[in-house]
Every structure is written in C-alpha cells, then in structure tokens.
Structure 1
Amino acid sequence: MTAKNDFRYIGQPLPRREDRRFLIGKGRYLDDIAMPGALHACFVRSPHGHARILSVDCAAARAMPGVAGVFVGEDLACWTTSLRLAPPIEGLHPVEMTTLPIDKVRFHGDPVAVVLAEDRYVAEDAAERVEVEYEPIDSVVDTDSALRPDAPKVDEALSGNLVSHQFFSAGDIAARSAEAERIVEARFDLHRHTHSPMETRGCLADWDAGREHLTMHIGTQAPHPLRGQLAGRLRMRETQVTVISPDIGGAFGQKIALYREELAVAALSRHLARPVRWREDRMENLTSASHARETHCVTRASVRADGRILGLELELTEDFGAYCFYPANYMARVIAMILTGPYRINDYAFDVKVVLTNKCGNGPMRAPMAITSWVMDGTIDAVASDLGLEPLEVRRVNALRAEDLPFAMPTGEVLEDVTPLETLEAAAAAIDVPAFRQRQEEARQAGRLLGLGFCTVIESTTYGSQFYKAAGIPGSGHEAAWVRIEPSGVVNASVGLMGSGQGYETPLAQAVAEGLGVPTESVIVHMGHTDIAPYGMGSRGGRGATAGGGTLYLCAQKARDKALAIAAGMLNVNDAQGLRIHDGRIEQYLDAEWQHSGLTLSDVARRAYLDPTALPEGITPGLDVSLTYDPPPMTYSNATHACEVEIDPATGRLSIARYIVAEDCGTVLNPVVVKGQQQGAVAMGLSGALMEEVVYDSAGQNISATFADYLIASACEVPQIEILPMHTPNRRTPVGIKGMAEGGIMGSIGVIANAVNDALIPIGVRVEQLPLTPQRIRALLRAAECTDFRRTISETRMKTHDG
C-alpha cells in the first residue's frame, strides 16, 4: 500500500468537475433526452390498500383521441416473466410477483393498468377513464396485526405474513444472564421513510425492430444488473439490451431495482415498436416507488455493575411492505450481523422477523442498516441510566481498543483498522463533557432541558463477494474497470458504477491519475452505459471509493506498467526498473534523483498505437487494459457523533446547539467530496429522525403522500456540522480506502435520540419511537409524572416575567 504522504493526486481538494454543467443548467437528465414519436405512459393505481380486482373496463379510455392503448396485468404477463425471489436461505420463503397485478392489489398505489398516449396530459386524462371494480379486503398495516393467525394474507401463496425468520446465537447467553448484575431492556422503533429524490423515477424505452434491440434510458445506480434483469424478464439476450443512465437527480437506493413500471414500459415499447417514456409525479413517488426502514427492535443486555455488557440479545421485526424486490431478509440481516459494532461483546443472540403488510414495498435507502447504531448506543445509554452511570464512561468500559484488533464480532464479521475509542475520545474532548454537565445542571435548576448524546458508528461499506456468500445473500461484490491511454496521451477510463449525485467523476479520475502518474485533468471517467462500461455491480452502500476507486487505481497501475515497458525499449534500457511516470512525463532514477528522460506518455502512446513493429518483444499494440477486483468481504469505517440539544418544555420543540462528527474513513480520494457526503448524510439522518414519516391509516391509505404531509428538513433546520478528520488507512485495500457516506445517517439518528433522552432524564420518560416531532416530545412531557420539575419551570417563568 502506498504511504499517505506519497500521494500526488489522491487527497487533493479538487472541485467536482460535474458541478459546472449542473450549475449552468446544462446537465443532461432523462427529461432532456428528446425522442420524436415517443408515447407517454400513465399508470392507473389502486385507491385501496387491499382488494380483489373484479374487472377492468378500458373501453372509454381506449376511445379517447390520442390514446395508443390501455394494457392490464394479463397483457403484460404475455410479454414478461414473473419476478421470483427464492434464494436458498433457511427461514426465507420464496415469493413471486407478476409485472402488474392480475387478481388483487396489495397496497394503496399498486399499479393496475397502464395507458399509452401521444402526450402525457392525454395519458393522465385517459387513466381517469379506466373503470376498475374492486372487492375490498381488510388491510394489515402493522406487524402485530400481520402476525395474528387470522390476519388476511398479503401474499396468497404464503402460509402467513411472516416471510422471513432467522435465529442466531454465539456464546452462552443464559450463563451471561445468570452472572449479570442486572438485565437491562431497551426498545427502539424506527418509523417508515421514503427516499424522496429530487428527480422522481422515470425511463425512456426505445425498441429497434430492425436490430431487435432495446435501448433503455433510465436513471439507475446499477446499469449492468438492471440490464440483466430487463433481458431476463423480457425473454431476451443481454446483447439485445443497452442501458444508458444520464445524469441522475438523486437516488439514495431507490434506483437500483427494476420496478414493475419500468419493465412494463420496456415491454410495451417492444410490443408497439415505438419509443415509450414514463415519468412519475411526486405523489406516485411518495406512495408507490419504494419505502424503507420501519424496524422495531428490543434489546436485553446482561451487565455488570460497572456497565460492562456481558451478553446481548436482539429481537428485530421489520415491516417489509407488500412486495419483495429484494430478498426479504436482506436489510434486517445486515443490521443483526453488525449490531455489536464498536463494542467488545462476545455473547450475542438475535431473532429476526420480516413481515409483509399492505404498504408500499421496502428496499434499501441510504444506510439500510440505519437503526443499528441507535439500537447499540441507545442500549449503552439505557444501561447507564439504569445503573446511574455517566453514559460516556459506560462507552469507555465497553469500547474496542487498538489492542483488541482485529476483533471478530460474534457473527463472524472481523473488524480491523478501525478506531472507535479514538473517535469517541476526540468527540468527547471537543464537547468538554464535564463542562457540559455543569451547564446542564444549572439549566435544569432554571427549568430548562439540555441534553448531550453520543453515538459511535461502525459503518459497513464495501460488501465483497465473500460477504454475500457467507450471509446467504445472492450477489457479487466485485468491480471492473478499463483504462485506455489514447495515442495523444490523454486517458479514458470506465468502471461499472453510476453516480447519482455523489460526485464520482472527480475522485475516480484522481484514483486513475494516481495509479498511472498523469494529471487528473487529463483523465475522463465514463459511467452509466452498458455498451461502454465493464460489467460492474453499480453504486450502493459505501462501495464507490473502495470498489470503484480501488479497481480504477489498480487498473491504472496495470496500464502504467505496460507504458513503462514500452518506454524502457524506447530508452534502450533492459527493463522498467528505475522508470516512473510523473505528471505525464517518463522519468529515470539517475545519480540518486529522478530526472526527465525526454519522453512523455504521449510519445509512448504514439509508439504503442502507430509503430507496433518497434515495440519490445511480447508487448502487444495499444495501451488499453482492463481489470476486475473483488475487495475484502467487508471493510468498515467508523465515526463518533456528539450532539447538544435543548428542548422547550412548553412546546416540545427541539433545537440543536452543537453537532460534531469525529470521522475515520481511511484514505480520502477527495476531501471536498467526502465532506459533502458527510454533511449530506448527517442532514438526511436528522431529517428522518426529526421530521420525515410515511403514515398509513387503518384502511391502508397512505396519508402522507405530498410534501405538505411528508416533511423534509431544509437548510434552516440542519445545524452547522463540525467534522474532525481522523483518517487511518485500511491495510487490505488499494491505497487504504475504507469507504463512507452512510455512517452519517446511522450516527445522526442515534445521537439525536440519545441526546433527547439525556435531556429527559429529570422527567422520567424515555424516547423509544421516532420521529422526534414536537408533538411526540410534548406528549411524553404531558404524560410524565414530573410535578416537581413543572413547578421549577413555572417558578422560573414567573421570576422572568416579574423581572
């Protein structure tokens, strides 16, 4: 691994090169792609949470001028295959779904029919003329109801609504319970979110009947896997499908899967031999795209008197919604596997249930394991509260230390090159905990509620192939890249990722520049086109830097080695030892220093392409190399979040006085991009913890389907975020990259809840459910038995008024 101080291009704070086109309005998004003659699709959606489809009358819609056709589930079933998910995982039941529902709808917003028309307005008008007769069925909208023996079945093919159930135990939980000072139980209820990207889902399918080829323009995080799904479900070869992803206005995990609407659009383009485009509106996105989270956890910690956790038990229940676009155990399994995170816990057991309900189906959202750190650090706080200890000290007692590494978590996951205690101490020092406790006590005497929270995060990032195999989850974690030095010496490169706002173009170019030895500005990275980019697993989790940047770096080194072999021949030296490429120049190590040889990379490239007979023996023409790389089973970054809050007892309003993140995410490709990702993740986590919530009523109606009801934090609600960089390299990845971008969500959810609970200690109540809206906090205050504290508040206000 290259020493950090040796980097020339990696680590430079270069501005994001894609920002120019975005800022001047020249980005190229899906709706900027003109396609003459394209039909517009509009979907007819169920107004019921659960109902049988008795009939669909399309006659009136088909008769409208400008309507090219109306199609239902039976039509699409003729042209596409069903999606069947049946990985061989114990306790996971196989599930299957048709492209559009045929017999019944399972959630409010389920697509029942699709209208194609000459323009979007006609399509929407015609959709309102489609008459669907339903027979409503009772909806199940929470996991408790869904698990009752007499509950209506969401999926008729299953014996019940429990779609996945896994157990695990390591060590001797019973023995640890028996020797414990006490058992501390804590509850955590993370509510349902949705992704809300600025750009909603959409696609443009163009079937070429002459070539029998489909070109799919779609904002997707994983172009190659999507191509494979499209080809398979359309009964086509992958060579008949090209996926092109233009600029994407946000994704956050929502644009990975092939959704039913997109498959229907592709099938109809092929059926009608015409281009078809679709763009969902905001209400469709909020009700029908994909949801996330909604996880209920209970922990039981067996603890000593000093707060040391001897054993830990987890019960987790996840509401997965009505359909499975991913194996149902996927997100919950990761939470359970990494839960113990930054703490020395050897005895651990979990019981994980995933349940179907009549809600929009769940999928990964930025940090699918978001609840993990709240559950673990919230349990630490519950232990401290139960034992009357300082929460910081309980963390110190349990924290992993340098001498503990590498540390095998009870589930077998190995932590190495992480610094959880170091980031904890840095955050605690920055806050000055003793000084805060003094201010907190003075504030309480004055009737004010101040709280301090900590949350230490172990963020799983890369997900190598071995992780998927060990977890029993189908998938690969490898990545692929190619690097081509053109005859002029400029560099084209490509990788199987696709950015959706992360700023990949600059840091990935820096990784190529570092590996090759050329200025970053001479490198262009191509992504998002399956006919150009090599087959890769796309953007998800925190794998962009480690898998994508690491693969490009290694591939660039391979290209460098070939270029230097050619240069050696041009310089009449025996081999490339003592040669390097530096800023695009070939340099020799002579007289104990690097000297310019008189050759440039451009000279070498011209020889490689235009004079192949002069190449050294065994060297093939050209400078075009490719490489695949499978990273370690898992890499981890870590951070500690610290947050000071104040709660207004009269209204429940929460204000954040200070927010600190001590972060270790390994070698940083570009600090500008990394800082933006850290700030964005914290903002997104706080927004979800304080404001966002998908709400269904008892009939399965989504009553949060507009931005008037589904609230998202603006810049006014997000505090200033102080970041303390504490980066240490990973010894098993190229240049020491660890990855990051989801830990900010994990930490912010946990730290804000912990800070609120710290403030509420005098009240005698504990937050167990998010979001932390003023209404929810005020309800806790009203319900609490806290006469003395109320008297203090009242007396303080009277004194203030008199003064």
Structure 2
Amino acid sequence: MTVDSEDFTEIGKPLPRREDRRLLTGQGRFVDDIAIPGALHAVFVRSPHGHARIREIDTVEALELDGVVGVFTGKDLNAWTNPLRLAPPIEGLLPTKMTTLPEGKVRFHGDPVACVLAVDPYTAEDAAERVAVTYDTLEAVTDAAAALAPDAPRVDDDLESNLVSRQSFSAGAPAARRREAHAVVEAEFHQHRQTHAPMETRGCVAVWDEGRKHLTMHIGTQIPHPLRGQLAGRLGLSESQVTVVSPDIGGGFGQKIALYREELVIAALTRHLKRSVRWREDRLENLMAASHARENTCRTRASVDRSGRILGLEFEITEDFGAYCFYPANYMSRVVAMILTGPYRIRDYAYEVKVALTNKCGSGPMRAPMAITSWVMDGTIDAIARQLGLDPVEVRRVNMLSPADFPHTMPTGEVLEDISPAETFEAAVKAVDVSAIRRRQGATCDDGRLIGLGFCTVVESTTYGSHFYKSAGIAGSGHEAAWVRIEPSGAVNASVGLMGSGQGYETPLAQAVAEGLGVGTDDVRVHMGHTDIAPYGMGSRGSRGATAGGGTLYLCARKAQERVLTIAAAVLGLNSADTASLRLRDRRVQRRIDDAWQDTELTLRDVARTAYLDPTALPEGVPPGLDVAMTYDPPPMTYSNATHACIVAIETATGRVVIERYLVAEDCGTVLNPVVVRGQQQGAIAMGLSGALFEEVVYDASGQNMSATFADYLLATACELPNFEILHMNTPSRQTPAGIKGMAEGGVMGAIGAVTNAVNDALAPLGVVANRQPLSPQYIRGLIRSAENTKNPRRHGS
C-alpha cells in the first residue's frame, strides 16, 4: 500500500487532545463518578499468608454489624460461576484452572478469600476485619529457580510441578557455530518484578436488571468486548445478556485487560442479590494483588568472529509467572524469544522458554510485555565488545541490518520490512558525539564520578495480526472493527472496538476518520467503550491503537466516502465511472476539471439528505442511508523502530545514577497526531526509566509482599527524569493503512536497555557488570565496592 503523506490534510495535524478539556476541568467521568442509588459496597478479605490451607472462615461476628448485607466465600461464588480454564493446544504448555475464589488453599499474600457487602464502604471495611479465617501455613516458593527444583512445594496442586510452560526452537546450527567461533560470549540479564501502578486503581459497578435478566457492568477496561465475553462465559449468560460500559480510565498499562476474580465476584453478587454492587480497591490492594509483570532471567551465548560479528546466538529465558494464570503462561516470554534478534543480522538461533509458578501475585502484560528484549540483545552486543576489547558502536555496525537487507526474515520466521534501524542508530551516534563522550570519560575518572554512554536499538512489535497469534500458538485474534455513520444532517459519528486508558485516542482516531472521509476533524465524533454501541473489536493492548484502530477507521471512512461519491455522481447526472473524478474535501463534493479540483454545488449534507430522505433518487444497488461498517486484520506483525542513547553519571561514593542526557531517534511511520505521539513516547520512556532505576516488587522467603505502599514501591517523578530529545525520522509502512506503524511501547524497551548499557559503560573501568535491575544506589554501590581494582581505567577499543 503506497502512501504519500503529503496528500494528507487531517492526519499529521498537531491538534490538542479533545478529551483534555473535560479531564483538566474536572468533567471526566470515571467509575466512581457513576451514581447508582442504593448500590452496596464490597470489600475483600485477603490472605495474610503467601501459601496456606484454609481451615475455616468464621463470618458470624461480621454479620452482626449493622449495615452488613452478607459475607460470601469461595463455596458460594464457585457455585454461581464457572472456573477459568486455560488449555490452548500449545506444545509444552500445561492446562490450568482457576476458581472464582479459593476454597482449599491460598497461593499468595493478598489472595481474596471472602467478600463483604454492606450499605457503605466504611461498614464493609469494619466487617471485613471481623471475618476470622483460620489457616494452616505451608512452605512458600518465591523464586523461579527454586520453584523448578524437583522437591519444591507445588503452587498449583493440580499440576505435577511448577513448570507450567516450556518451549524450544532452533534455526540453523548454533551449536556448530559455537565450535567454529573465535570466541563464545555469555551474558545474563535479570529483570525484576514490577507492577503497573495506574492512577486509578481497579473498580467496577454492576447493575442487574431482573426484568430483562441483563447485567450492565461499568468498569474501566481496555477490552470491552472480550471482557463481555469472559463475563458471560463465567456467569453462564449469553453475551446478549451483558453490556460492558467503560467510562474514562485513569491509566491501564495492561493491568485492565483481564477479567479479575474480584470483578467477577461483584457481577455474580449483583445477579444473586438482584441489587447493584460497587467495588473500588485501595492502593495497598492494587500494589499487592492486582497484577504484576516482568520478572524473568535471561541468558545469552553468542558465537562471534574476531570483529564481533555474531555467527550464532543461543537464548534462555525463565519467567516467574506468579500463583495464577490469567493468561496462557507462555504468552509474554514466547514473544520475547520470537523477536529477540530484532535489528541484527543473525541466522543461526536457538531459544528455550521456561515459565514457573510461584507464591506471588499472578503476572500479566504490562506496557511492553516484551520489554527486556532490546536490553538483552544490545546488552549482548556490549558484552561482546567488552570481552573482545572492541568499540561497542563498531560491533553494532558490524551486526546491524542495512537498508539493503529488507525485507528481512528473522530466524524465527518473522519478517521485518519498512523499518530503519541503521538510520536511527547512526542519527543517535551523531547526535551524542561519541568521541566527545570518550574524551570526557578519560578526564572524569578521578573526580568521584563515572560517565557512561549507552545505546539501545529497538525493533518494536506494535500490532499483532491474527496470523501471528496462530503461528505463535497464542489464542486470539488481531483484527479490529469500525463503523462510520453519516447522519441525515451530515454529522459524522464513528466507532471502533478500542478503549483508551489515557492515550488520547479521541483526537487521532477522529483525524483518521476525517482523512478517509474528506471532512474536518471537528466534524467527527468517535464513540468507544460501550459494547452495545461499538463494533466487536479486540480492544487496546500493545501499540495497536493507531495501526489497527486508526487504520480500520481510515479504511472504513474511505469506504463511506466511496458511497457518498456514488450518490453524488447520480445527483450530478454522472455515470458511476465518473466517481474517480470526484472527491470530498471540507464537506464539499469536488470535481476534477482540467487537472484542477473545483467545488460542485453539493455538500455532504445534501448527499446525506438524499441518502436518507429521498431513496428513490439513489442509483440502482445503493441502499438508503450512509452507515458503513468493516473489519480489518492487520499484517501478521507490524514493526516500528528507534535508537535510544543515554548518558549517565554515577556518583561513586553513593552509587546514585544521574541521567545527564537522553535522546531517541524514532521511526514510527505515519503520525496521526504529533502531540499525542510525543506524549506517548515521553510516557513510555519515563515508565521504562522508572522501572529500571526505582520500581521493584519485593517478597520475603515466606511470600510476604514487602513493597505494597508507595513508601516502598518507588516511582520516578519529574525530578528524577531528564528532558527527552526526540529526533523524528518517520517513514511510512507500505503494508498498513495510511502507513501507520505504532509506537507506544518501544520507549519502555529502549529505556531499560539504554540506561543499563550506559551504567555498564561507566562501570567498565572497574571490571564489574550490572546484570540486574533496578539500578538502585545500593546495588551500584555494591558493585563499585566489589571491584578489585579501580585504577588504570580501560575503555572500549583502547
């Protein structure tokens, strides 16, 4: 699909986000703003243990409190709901089953064991404290390596071991390349457990209409239609009996995708009691029991020649998936393994993926679930440079895919095209002036600071088509759906199956419709988040909002324009073939005469009135109305790319890492709205840096979560983050509508790699390597202290 961005009139405009007016003036509508008179309030009783048998749940004292309507346990809820069974036909993936609430045992600190309903939240809180649960504690396992030991306590009693998933793959002959290599370089990477920490925690309001036997669920969700299907299935209802309404959402980052047990409990109780029920978790609950992510250990073994060229690469990843599987356990790590080689020319490649259950909160996708990918790959490049005494910039150049290499098929079969990793890398190298940094490093090695420069080139998988899911053995569809309706007055309404959680979808998606139809962005209203209004789509996850959502709306709007022009041709007395000489611009029908576009007397309103109110004037075969719908399945995978460069200064006395400069050369294809894109890029980088430097979920050996407050789970603020310099080098994709690629997660990927590589560049004179995150002052100071010799600094290539 050839795209000429110079032809765009609405796409690419830096329009302000239209939702900001209501959000900044306090007019947003979140779940807590939805008033449901008489709604009961729910509070959950949670396990204080990481692993324990439930002996007894005594609710007598709680029920004696005035205002308490009921206390419900797993025995109640599991009789009213169906369990979640995950058993996709994937080799090496074990089937799992999860009940709505545990009856036999709890598996992590914070596991919900009972739900209290009362007339107000304060009474519900008081009653929850009166629920007495007797436990027999069990030995907990809180480390993936320990969980995989033969004698480890079993997290899921239905499984024979804690190894819930294992897959392997090999292309070429990496073992043979190892024997032929000049050197074999091994490296390790440990990414720590993190959580999403959205501004708005999880919450919902459920309303049951007994007369219609219909459930309405008000909930901040990224995937309204799939969530509706999950609710219906778990409750034994038809999808036509469930409506999901998602209002404004105060952040999601992947945490608001799954149907969690608490939300299912609320839906089941409102149906059982025939009364509305609402729930809002507090921050402690969110940090402890909502969803976690990221914890994995990776090892690479690269066979290289004298120049650092990678001849073969072997990769192992072990992921700690927590206590429960809300998703197939192979999901995140398998994607990391499939796209690992990214921007580098590697033919012989093998991987092994292992996923373990532990007594921790269950894991799920978090913005850039494949975040570790680029750190592992570029970190391996740096390890090669260190071991061979080479310049890491030159090692990257030796291995980097060049423009002549595209389209390029990765060893896993993934195809890269319309990306520019070499170009973004060279732009970043030039912008930071590597030679100047090297001179500065030599001059500052004795003043109590260590200076480091790190690069990370990202190939971001943005939009997963259905073919990718099938080939990866992952259940799911990648398609998206949209409708565009031109009303009799000429007003334009549109809808898509996405739901924004703060990204600013309403403006760029309206721009996509306006561009495709030939009207102004202000003429378009986009409706999302209501399953009775929006078409069935796969929702917001990854970076698919622009490519799948915007692309589908753009195609649908073009289809609507074709309908408009067909009717206009008939009104103008032209035959159908003459529609090629017509177009819609600024709501006016224009005709091409003598190589120039000229307005006709027709407007969009004129055509719409004919379509709706004068059907006999329509050409043969054209139905009344102007309501167009379509679905679109993107290519198997769409990629964007970027190169991140980070300059840090480490204070040797304290171990504190200070980011002096941060730069990104970015290629994300056609930009729907530069304001929104820049915000997404800045937010993603900030999230990546915050995770790499500060955030960490910590458990002790008994399974106690030691980081369930913001006093312990640290987040970066504006004071700790630098200014982000962004070099825009966008080239359109020829495979997607309007050339859109997407870009909302690559900033996370690049940030964790660039800052860690910069820290290791600074530590190189000491002969130590930071191979785990977070890069806390304590950790970095420990590495510095352990260095045997801090004299005679040696730099790459010297």
TM-score range, shorter chain: over 0.9
Query: How far does residue 446 in structure 1 lie from its aligned partner after superposition?
Result: 4.3
Q: Deviations over 1:22-56 (max 9, x none)?
A: 01000000000000010000000000000000010
Tell me which residue corresponds to 1:95: 96
Tell me how far apart the structure 1 counterparts of residues 459 and 51 of structure 2 sit (CA, whole Å).
39
Deviates more, 1:436-445 or 1:303-312: 436-445
Aligned to 1:801: none
The match for 2:679 is 676
Is 1:127 aligned to 2:128, yes or no?
A: yes
Tell me which amino acid in the other structure corresponds to 2:329: A
The reply to whether residue 460 of structure 1 matches residue 461 of structure 2 is yes
Matched, 1:762 2:765: yes
Indicate the SS of the match to 1:187. Answer: strand
CA distance in 1, matches of 2:146, 2:96: 21
Is 1:283 the counterpart of 2:284? The answer is yes
Deviation at residue 8 of structure 1 after TM alignment = 0.5
Equivalent residue letter for 1:731: R
CA displacement, residues 729-755 of structure 1 (integer Å, 9 cap, x when unaligned): 110100100111100000000000000
Matching residue of 2:339:
338
Alignment of 1:565-644 (within 5 A): 565-575=566-576, 576-644=579-647
Find the aligned partners of 2:159 and 2:539 in 1 and give their Cα distance: 32
Partner of 1:169: 170
Measured after TM superposition, the shift of residue 789 of structure 1 is 6.7
Letter in 1 for 2:88: P
Q: 1:787 to 1:502 in 2, by over 3 A?
A: closer
Deviation at 1:591, TM superposition (A): 2.4
Alignment correspondent of 1:329: 330
- Matches of 1:574 and 1:97, distance apart in 2: 62
The one-letter amino acid of 1:736's match is G
SS of the aligned residue for 1:344 comes to coil
Correspondence for 1:5: 6
Match of 2:3, as an amino acid? T
Aligned partner of residue 212 in structure 2, secondary structure: coil
State how far apart, in whole Å, the 2-side matches of 1:690 and 1:655 are: 10
Which residue number corresponds to residue 743 of structure 1? Answer: 746
Tell me the residue number matched to 1:418.
Answer: 419
Q: Which moved more, 1:443-452 or 1:172-181?
A: 443-452
SS of 2:507's partner is helix
Alignment gaps of 5+ in structure 1:
791-803
Q: What is the CA–CA distance in structure 1 between the aligned matches of 2:792 and 2:221, rounded to whole Å?
A: 53
Structure 2 residue 660 is matched with structure 1 residue 647: no
1:398-409 superposed matches below 5 A: 398-409=399-410
Partner of 2:531: 530
After TM superposition, give the deviation of residue 448 of structure 1 in Å.
2.9
1:362-418, Cα deviation, whole Å (9 max, x unpaired): 000000000000000000000000000110000000000111111110110000011
| C-alpha distance in 2 between matches for 1:447 and 1:110 | 47
Distance 2:94 2:580 in 1: 58
Deviation digits for residues 309-366 of structure 1, max 9, x if unmatched?
Answer: 0000011100000000000000000000000000000100011100000000000000
Tell me, yes or no, if the aligned pair for 1:295 and 1:316 is still in contact at 8 Å. yes
Q: Is the CA contact (8 Å cut-off) linking 2:556 and 2:629 kept in structure 1? A: yes
1:211 aligns with 2:182: no
What is the CA-CA distance between 1:615 and the residue it aligns to?
1.1
Distance in 2 (CA, whole Å) between partners of 1:585 and 1:247 is: 34
Task: Determine if the alignment matches structure 1 residue 723 to structure 2 residue 726.
Answer: yes
Q: Give yes or no for the alignment of 1:752 onto 2:755.
A: yes
Partner of 1:23: 24
Q: Could you tell me which residue of structure 2 aligns to residue 799 of structure 1? A: none
Distance, in Å, in 2 between the alignment partners of 1:326 and 1:108 is: 20
How many angstroms apart in 2 are the aligned matches of 1:133 and 1:577? Answer: 76
Q: CA offset at residue 447 of structure 1?
A: 4.8
Query: Structure 1-normalised TM-score?
Result: 0.98
SS of the aligned residue for 1:325 comes to coil
2:70 equivalent to 1:59 = no
Which AA in structure 1 matches 2:232?
A: A
Residue 2 of structure 1 and its aligned partner are, at CA, apart by 3.3
> How do 1:304-383 residues align onto structure 2 when only pairs under 5 Å count?
304-383=305-384
Equivalent residue, structure 1, for 2:774:
771
CA distance in 1, matches of 2:140, 2:474: 30
Contact kept in structure 2, 1:483 and 1:624, CA below 8 Å: yes
Distance 2:277 2:230 in 1: 19
Residue range with higher mean Cα deviation, 617-626 or 218-227: 617-626
Q: Which residue of 2 aligns with 1:510?
A: 511
TM-align CA RMSD: 0.8
Output the CA distance in 2 between the equivalents of 1:372 and 1:498.
27
Q: What is the CA distance between 1:445 and its match in structure 2?
A: 4.8
**3-state SS, counterpart of residue 123 of structure 1:** helix
Within 5 A, what are the aligned runs for 1:211-250?
211-250=212-251
Aligned length: 790
Distance in 1, Cα, partners of 2:542 & 2:34 = 29
Within a 5 Å distance, the mapping from 1:436-447 to structure 2 comes to 436-447=437-448
- Quick one: distance in 2 between partners of 1:497 and 1:442? 53
Q: CA deviation at 1:613?
A: 1.2
Shift of 1:713: 0.5
- Distance in 1 between residues matched to 2:308 and 2:5, nearest whole Å: 38
Matching residue within 705, 710, 714 for 1:707: 710
Q: Deviation of residue 786 (structure 1)?
A: 2.0
Give the aligned residue type for 1:509: A
Q: Is the 8 A contact 2:670 2:740 kept in 1?
A: yes
The SS at the match of 1:706 is: coil
Asked if the contact 2:448/2:653 (under 8 Å) is kept, the reply is: no
Aligned match of 1:665 = 668
Q: Which secondary structure state, in structure 1, belongs to the residue aligned with residue 192 of structure 2? A: strand
Cα distance, 1:627 vs. partner? 0.3
Q: Are 2:308 and 2:384, in contact at CA under 8 Å, matched by a contact in 1?
A: yes
CA distance in 2, matches of 1:70, 1:157: 28
Q: What SS does the aligned partner of 1:211 have?
A: coil
Show CA shifts across 1:284-304 (max 9, x none). 000000000001001000001
1:86-106: CA deviation from partner (whole Å, max 9, x where unpaired): 001000000001000010000
Counterpart-to-counterpart distance in 2, 1:625 and 1:684: 39
- Secondary structure at the aligned position of 2:568 is classed as helix
Structure 1 residue 45 and structure 2 residue 46: aligned?
A: yes
2:796 aligns to what? none
Q: Once the 2 structures are TM-superposed, how far is the Cα of residue 150 of structure 1 from its aligned partner?
A: 1.0
Letter in 1 for 2:180: E
| One-letter amino acid of the counterpart of residue 584, structure 1 | R
Any idea what the Cα deviations from partners look like across 1:161-208, whole Å, max 9, x if unmatched? 000011110000121001111100000000000000000000000000
**Could you tell me how far 1:471 is from its partner in structure 2?**
0.4
2:294 is paired with a residue of what secondary structure?
strand
| CA distance in structure 2 between the aligned counterparts of 1:354 and 1:290, rounded to whole angstroms | 16
Q: Within 2, Cα distance between the matches of 1:650 and 1:526? A: 55
Matches within 5 A, 1:384-399: 384-399=385-400
What letter is aligned with 1:460? Answer: S
Quote the residue 1:108 is aligned against: 109
2:660 counterpart letter in structure 1:
A
Q: Which SS does the other structure have where 1:657 is aligned?
A: strand
Which residue is 1:793 aligned to? none
Q: Within 1, Cα distance between the matches of 2:431 and 2:213?
A: 63
Deviations 1:537-591 (A, max 9, x none): 0000010000000000000011100010110111111121211000110001112
| SS across alignment from 2:454 | strand
Deviations along 1:132-156, one digit per CA (max 9) or x if unpaired, are 0000000000012111111110000
Aligned AA (2:48):
P
Q: Is the 8 A contact 1:214 1:241 kept in 2?
A: yes
1:334·1:369 contact (CA, 8 Å) conserved in 2?
yes
How far did residue 787 of structure 1 move?
4.9
Contact 1:447 1:789 in 2 (8 A): no
Structure 2 residues without counterparts, runs of 5 or longer? 794-798
* Cα contact 2:479–2:633 (8 A) shared by 1: yes
Which residue of the partner structure matches residue 794 of structure 1?
none
Does the CA contact (< 8 Å) of 2:187 and 2:383 recur in 1?
Answer: yes
